[in-house]
Structure 1
């Protein structure tokens, strides 16, 4: 349990503590939108029964096991062809900061939790989530029950420094005192073109917490690069449409419902095969870096190492190889797919392009953007 001082220090960003949960459950169950969601997920189940089930969850982990795990199990049965998890490079009894590529707003961390449960881990992770996704009060409540801490984004430069320092301190506190794991994306927002590269700003933020040199501060977070591979990205057509709008409309910004639509599409859409792969914790590698290395060189080296570990951990599917050949107009990857694989991907591509509803869709541009999304993981992995 956090002390009252610690709660106060991290109040603006932390997940709910166990003693706060009953009040939040009651607030959620009174919300008409939550009632609609519950009626969809649990048709015919009375609210009183759901309330009883919620109140039986005494911790955030209990809530994840009772509600999130079953939901994900049903979802995977409908929207995927199965999921694999390689974690032999780490010891699941230890605590880590998982730094991963970012494809899906909700599922990247949620599926990691599902896999950790199945692997016999005694905890999940605390999730870094941007406040831009939490415009609805009930969504904010729900993610804070689900062990999320909040990344504050729309702040002035001065506020941003204060906020980044608090978040870094909190991350170090989670690993060292709460004895839990962390999940954080390697960059702010999803890599729309799947060219996954770690933003040094994320590492610099992490190094604002802890003690000692920047190297010692990052070492104390025990970073594990995590590669996430979806055979199909249900949001690919939405990402492509966004790229055209950014190209065509000066100052274009996402509307209030765009992230909600992306979350819904990402969760419910078909994903094919899914693979998660943990690289070794980078502590041992980081120890080999010179203690007097200039900070700019140090952060660049760590970011590059994380990138290479993620690229190396990708699972490549026929869709990646077909996309690469279609993008380059050749058949150099032909050994990695069949004619049937190519026909299937081309049919999928046409169907996704047909879903795009923006003014004056530039089909050649949109097609190329989707092809890049599937080709870039192959390009990156082959560059190693």
Structure 2
């Protein structure tokens, strides 16, 4: 298949480009250290031989990524599964999901797509702010990622957004690939998962026809990701305090790398993915005559509703909601032991925050928010007037 050259700066590597990419990453000293950590008893030559035997990106994922992820599930979780009853393994989709973990959200999706019977994984949208290291940039392109260009001027951003949209359409339509993209730029640090209409506007830049027709060509599936524990929760709380206390504070590449490593190496408890029905049929019910902004807001609210009502909640989500509201409204969903254990967990996570003038009360609230919002949004979306409350949930319950 001939891929238009305009996509070259952002697309994943094609099979014929893999040997050169393997050579580059294997020669990198830092990547060699990563391999030594991941495969302490395996000679580098054996890894090289195994890598060069992977002739396609999908083969690389099955040989290296799948086995690594299975080990993570075994050692650092209580299981990882997906409810894919609403989708067809023979079709291709654009998965739009909430975003918790920089690396694992899309990585686990790749594994789970294989587990449920898909013949391919998905191409992954990843921000170029995470690709400051050459070997990381090569590795993600081997792993079927395409680049989201950020920090551009307005005219450049418009051009980059249109190119990315056209590439996503090309990947689904011509390459017969699935695509994964987060519902918003960056992770929702407080776990209030809301779709940015700008993401949908970008998607509608590619394809042909009306806005509805263009979005239908992508076969969007809202995807809910539920981790029992988020290993990066204390890093997100730390970021909130730093932003509060230091108005000019900005995250660095080192901060992102720390989040990647902590997310991968930390304990996650139960992990659950659930696919809502593809929104194609629902889009046919939308009034295309709505003003553009209202149209995108309506679609975003529907995706939010689908994601929220498909969360899997754990006792700690209800504990957090009761703690932050200073109630015992939801105590039927947890035990006294659950409550005590979560209290101890919060104290332990706060102790991990090493900054000047650490504000324990503020950090505790930030941590509670991360675990309470999924329960709050699930309850709102699951109620009789769930769609209205999904819109209302865009108003924060923390002042």
1:299 aligns with 2:296: yes
Secondary structure, counterpart of 1:182 in structure 2: strand
1:112 aligns with 2:120: no
- Counterpart of 1:80 in structure 2 is 77
Deviation track 1:320-371 (CA, whole Å, cap 9, x = no partner) reads: 0000111011100100000111111111111101100011011110000100
Q: 5 Å matches for 1:1-384?
A: 1-3=1-3, 6=4, 8-384=5-381
| Distance across 2 between alignment mates of 1:35 and 1:159 | 36
Once structures 1 and 2 are overlaid, which stretch shifts more, 42-51 or 21-30? 42-51
Q: TM-score, normalised by structure 2?
A: 0.95
CA shift at 1:83, angstroms? Answer: 1.5
| Distance across 1 between alignment mates of 2:80 and 2:49 | 32
CA shift at 1:295, angstroms? Answer: 1.2
| Distance across 1 between alignment mates of 2:76 and 2:31 | 23
- Counterpart of 2:392 in structure 1 is none
CA shift at 1:293, angstroms? Answer: 2.4
| Distance across 2 between alignment mates of 1:206 and 1:60 | 25
- Counterpart of 2:389 in structure 1 is none
Secondary structure, counterpart of 1:225 in structure 2: strand
In structure 1, stretches of 5+ residues that fail to align are: none
Paired residues, what number?
Answer: 381
| Distance across 2 between alignment mates of 1:308 and 1:255 | 33
CA shift at 1:163, angstroms? Answer: 0.3
Deviation track 1:4-48 (CA, whole Å, cap 9, x = no partner) reads: xx1x21011000000000011011111000111111111132222
| Distance across 2 between alignment mates of 1:107 and 1:319 | 21
CA shift at 1:289, angstroms? Answer: 1.0
| Distance across 1 between alignment mates of 2:291 and 2:153 | 28
CA shift at 1:296, angstroms? Answer: 1.4
- Counterpart of 2:386 in structure 1 is none
| Distance across 1 between alignment mates of 2:256 and 2:37 | 20
Q: TM-score, normalised by structure 1?
A: 0.98
Deviation track 1:111-136 (CA, whole Å, cap 9, x = no partner) reads: 01111111111000000000000000
| Distance across 1 between alignment mates of 2:379 and 2:72 | 32
In structure 2, stretches of 5+ residues that fail to align are: 382-399
| Distance across 2 between alignment mates of 1:36 and 1:333 | 47
| Distance across 2 between alignment mates of 1:31 and 1:233 | 31
| Distance across 1 between alignment mates of 2:43 and 2:264 | 25
CA shift at 1:221, angstroms? Answer: 0.4
CA shift at 1:255, angstroms? Answer: 2.3
Secondary structure, counterpart of 1:257 in structure 2: helix
The ranges of structure 1 where at least 4 consecutive aligned residues each deviate by more than 4 angstroms after the TM superposition are none
| Distance across 2 between alignment mates of 1:345 and 1:35 | 38
CA shift at 1:173, angstroms? Answer: 0.2
| Distance across 2 between alignment mates of 1:229 and 1:102 | 10
| Distance across 2 between alignment mates of 1:229 and 1:291 | 33
CA shift at 1:292, angstroms? Answer: 2.1
Asked if structure 1 preserves the Cα contact closer than 8 Å seen for 2:237 and 2:366, the reply is: yes
CA shift at 1:199, angstroms? Answer: 0.2
